[in-house]
Structure formats: C-alpha cells, structure tokens
Amino acid sequence: MKSDVVTIQSPDDREAIRRIGRLLRDGAIVALPTETVYGLAAKAEKEVVDRLDRLKGRPADKRYTLHIGRCEELTLYVPRPSLQARKLMHHFWPGPLTIVFELDKKSLEQTQNALPDQTYEILYRDGTLGIRCPAHPVTSALLTEALAPIVAPSANPSHQPPAVSAAQAAAYFDGRIDAIIDSPGACTYRKPSTVVRSGSRGLEVLREGVFTQQDILHAGTVNLLFVCTGNTCRSPMAEALCRKYLADKFNCNLDDLPKLGYSIESAGIAAFEAMPASRHALEISRERHAPLDSHRSRQLTDELIARADLIFVMTPMHRQMVIQAAPQAKDKCFLLDPSAEIPDPIGQDSSVYRACAEHIERCLSERMNELL
C-alpha cells in the first residue's frame, strides 16, 4: 500500500493539520518538510522508535533529536536552559539550529517526573537532549497539534542523502511510512541544521550546517562585565578570577574561553584610562594563577553596558550609577555579593587584598552556578 501524500498549503488548513496531528499522536511515522531537509516524524515511544530505527537502518543506540512546534515548549523538556542556549534560541529559533542541552540533576529529576518512563529513557539517555524548533510553518503547526514529544531524524536511509522534496521522501519510503506531507516553501536551505552543544564545555559546534561556527560564537557568546570605581582593584580581580573559574570549569586554557563562547571584561565608573592594576591586585592574582599583568583600566561606557549580558557590581552605589547611565540595564545588573558590599581595598596591605579576592571567589562560585 502506498503512503498517503497530503498537500498542506498553510497552517490555516486546520482539518489536515488535525488529521496528521492525530496520526502522529497515535504512533504513525510521517515525512515532514522543514526549512532544511525532510524529517521522519515519530512519537518518542519505544515501539514507534524501534520502527523508525528499522526504516533508517541505524543502530538502536543512536540518538534522535526532539522537535518542538513552538519555542515556548522548551521548558517542558529543559527547565533551566543556560544563558548561552537562551541567546542562541533568541537569534536562531525557530530555524535551522539543533541545540544539545546538558541538564543538571535537578532538571533531569523534574523531567523524569513529568514524562512517561519510556519517553524519558528515549530522550535523555546520557543526561542530554537535542532539540530543534523548525521554522517551516506547516511543520510547526503539526508538531504542536501532535500533543506528544516528536523526534524527527532526516528522511533518508543510512548512508543516503536526506530527502529535500516530497518526491524524494516517497522514493525512499513510499509504502513504508504512513504519510508524506507536501507543502510550499519546503527545504529552502537544502542542507542540514547546525548542531551545537551547550554545557560543560561551553559552546561546541558538533556539526556545521546552515550556520557556521563563527555565526554561533557571534550570537551565543556570553559577555560578562565587572564594575567597580577605579578599575584597578576589585573589578580587575573579579575579571581575572572569573576567567580562571571558567577555565577550570571547562578544563581549558584562559586564552581558549572566547572559543567556548565567553567574554569577560571590567571597567570603572570613575576610572582613569590605561592605569595598570594595583600592586597588591597583581600580587594576589598571580598567586591564584589569574594574571593581571596586561590589565589597563578603562571608564565604563554605554557601549560596554549595551554589550554585556550580565553586569556584576561591587556596591549598591555602583548599581545605581549603572542604571542611571543606562536604565535598560536594570534587569541584567547585579551585586556580585547580593547580601553585602565588597569593600574597596585601595591603600590597604596585601592581607586586605587577599581577603577581598577570597570574597570575590566565593561570590563568583555562587553567581556562575546560579546564572550560567
């Protein structure tokens, strides 16, 4: 028996959308167009995925990407996406980007409690989940209408090029799948989505597709800005110690952080330009293998504020002045220590600077875990 070829002109064709949505919900396999290539949409249920494995001719331990119809559905599967992932979603979703999310223990427990056991086991085999939100309007409507988690690998047998038309999907799978959707505007890119992992190694481009690694870094880099008064003591130490914290977290060299999607800067609200870090700040930072030898102070500017994704200040006065200069920064400007000021050590001895650095380190550990 031949597969049913269904032409759907737009999401307004509600009767057809509802019919295909029911098919997917009931366990059918349907070839759907996206803006990249055709996919084989299937419910994330063991019997259906086993059938999908046989159709694709691929091993059962290979992962499938979850597809969602609307960006808002993400939190059903990833309760706490990282700031990097949120930036990528803002720039590229809906669209040809697959994000592999690393979930922490709490998020995994939350999703495990919310999903059927076999669905959870299919989607979260190693604590990660790849998700894509396609831009093709008909496919978005179908995924939403399915009311079930849908995976959708490319529509091709293993070692064959992906189908980029309904006719090609039929050539591969006619009579072996339940339906093939033909719709205007399918597969405009005619190449796979880019795949990016966001997690313990920062941003990792696992596969270039429509977007290049440069596109991903440009859109997904997290810009952190530390602000104090003169930009010779507290904020330079915070910048250097944050860089060291992230390098240790990602097990990389300090100079590799930009490649992983992190930019760390500092400035002062009343800084003289091009002053070196203070003598004790240099000393304490070297002790912690977070050198400040090349640091030169700079004045906080509107450009620095606008570029930053998160701004950390040392005192409430600093926050007040940042917000006075740029009211739109209110929701991204925070006290590094939410419960206390970080006192200015200027003019004090090395023990005071060391205590200041320890204070900053404690706050960085809490803030980075909380916000990144």
Residue 63: pLDDT band with limits 50, 70, 90: confident
157-185 tens-digit pLDDT: 988 999 999 999 999 999 999 999 999 99
How far is it, in rounded angstroms, from Cα 16 to Cα 372?
42
Rounded to 5 degrees, what angle do the CA atoms 340, 342, 345 make? Answer: 150
Whether the predicted pLDDT of 260 surpasses 90:
yes
Residue 369: pLDDT band with limits 50, 70, 90: confident
Average pLDDT over residues 331-354: 96
Whether the predicted pLDDT of 114 surpasses 80:
yes
How far is it, in rounded angstroms, from Cα 39 to Cα 110?
29
290-314 tens-digit pLDDT: 999 999 999 999 999 999 999 999 9
Equal CATH topology for 4-218 and 221-371: no
From residue 254, alpha-carbon distances to 214, 257, 270 in Å are: 20, 6, 28
Please, are residues 304 and 284 in contact by the beta-carbon 8 Å criterion?
no
Helices (H), the chain: 14-25, 46-56, 83-92, 105-114, 117-123, 137-146, 166-173, 213-220, 234-250, 279-287, 302-307, 316-325, 350-371
Whether the predicted pLDDT of 1 surpasses 90:
no
Least confident of 129-138, 170-179, 195-204: 195-204
Measure CA 128 to chain center. 12
Class of domain 4-218: alpha beta
1 against 226, higher pLDDT: 226
16-37 tens-digit pLDDT: 999 999 999 999 999 999 999 9
Whether the predicted pLDDT of 62 surpasses 90:
no
Q: What are phi and psi of 342, to 5 degrees?
A: -100, 105
Q: Where are the domains of the chain?
A: 4-218, 221-371
Whether the predicted pLDDT of 76 surpasses 90:
yes
Which pLDDT value is given to residue 211?
97
Which pLDDT value is given to residue 59?
79
Which pLDDT value is given to residue 131?
98
Query: Hey, which CATH number is domain 221-371, 3.20.20.70, 3.40.50.300, 3.40.50.2300, 3.30.930.10?
Result: 3.40.50.2300
267-280 tens-digit pLDDT: 999 999 999 999 99
Question: What's the number of CA atoms in the CB half-sphere (13 Å) around residue 94?
Answer: 20
Residue 58: pLDDT band with limits 50, 70, 90: confident
Which pLDDT value is given to residue 125?
85
Whether the predicted pLDDT of 200 surpasses 90:
no
Which pLDDT value is given to residue 370?
73
Tell me the longest C-alpha to C-alpha distance in the chain: 85
Closest CA to 180 of 169, 191, 172: 169
